[in-house]
């Protein structure tokens, strides 16, 4: 049976992993000599990718520890990485998209991710594609459990969108 300390360790490990991933992004930015963007904002670019979305969608797509997404979007716009427009359907809604500069950096960061994926699946890491999918599924299950546990009196304080139910792409793609 899972002990309380082991259960807690899952969540602290997830947070440490996220922070380490931000360190990896920062190292890549430093190596590429990007001085006008930080690791959290670069992660936002990665989550936007080549799509257009609302700022709210962006907030739910990623995890930005200790950050204000609106402020970071403002800074990304000021430095030319992101463009913001009003929705044609609802003028209150802001749509965000990576600019050409943002797409270029996003592609470099995706290449970094590709190198790490290749290392994970081909080195002696003894991690299979199925292991990674199982881990992802388990993390999503835990997210759902925590969401339901935070539901007070049948009214959720936070709306967490369901993950896109697509056939997972191969990691090396």
Predicted local distance difference test score (pLDDT) of residue 64: 66
Tens of pLDDT, residue by residue over 86-128, are 888 888 888 999 999 999 999 999 999 999 988 887 766 677 8
Closest C-alpha to 82, from 19, 37, 22, 25? 37
Q: Is 161 helix (H, G, I), strand (E, B) or coil?
A: coil
Cα–Cα distance measured from residue 173 to residue 169, given in angstroms and rounded to the nearest whole number: 7
Predicted local distance difference test score (pLDDT) of residue 165: 46
The residue with greater pLDDT, 142 or 150, is 142
Tens of pLDDT, residue by residue over 45-61, are 999 999 999 988 888 77
Tens of pLDDT, residue by residue over 14-24, are 999 999 999 99
| Ordered structural domains, the chain, with CATH | 4-99 (1.10.10.10)
Task: Please tell me the least confidently modeled range out of 26-30, 128-132, 159-163, 164-168.
Answer: 164-168
Cα–Cα distance measured from residue 53 to residue 97, given in angstroms and rounded to the nearest whole number: 7
Predicted local distance difference test score (pLDDT) of residue 103: 98
Predicted local distance difference test score (pLDDT) of residue 166: 47
Predicted local distance difference test score (pLDDT) of residue 173: 44
Closest C-alpha to 11, from 120, 19, 60? 19
Look-up of token digits 């797509």: 61
């Amino acid at each position: 049976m899972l002990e309380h300390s082991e259960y807690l360790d899952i969540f602290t490990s997830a947070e440490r992993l996220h922070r380490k991933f931000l360190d990896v992004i920062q190292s890549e930015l430093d190596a590429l000599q990007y001085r006008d963007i930080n690791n959290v904002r670069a992660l936002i670019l990665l989550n936007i990718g080549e799509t257009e979305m609302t700022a709210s969608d962006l907030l739910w797509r990623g995890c930005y520890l200790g950050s204000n997404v609106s402020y970071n979007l403002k800074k990304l716009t000021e430095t030319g990485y992101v463009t913001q427009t009003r929705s044609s359907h609802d003028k209150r809604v802001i749509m965000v998209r990576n600019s050409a500069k943002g797409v270029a950096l996003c592609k470099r960061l995706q290449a970094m991710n590709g190198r790490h994926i290749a290392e994970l699946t081909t080195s002696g890491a003894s991690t299979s594609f199925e292991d990674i999918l199982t881990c992802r599924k388990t993390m999503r299950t835990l997210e759902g459990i925590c969401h339901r546990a935070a539901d007070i009196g049948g009214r959720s304080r936070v709306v967490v969108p369901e993950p896109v139910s697509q056939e997972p792409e191969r990691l090396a793609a």
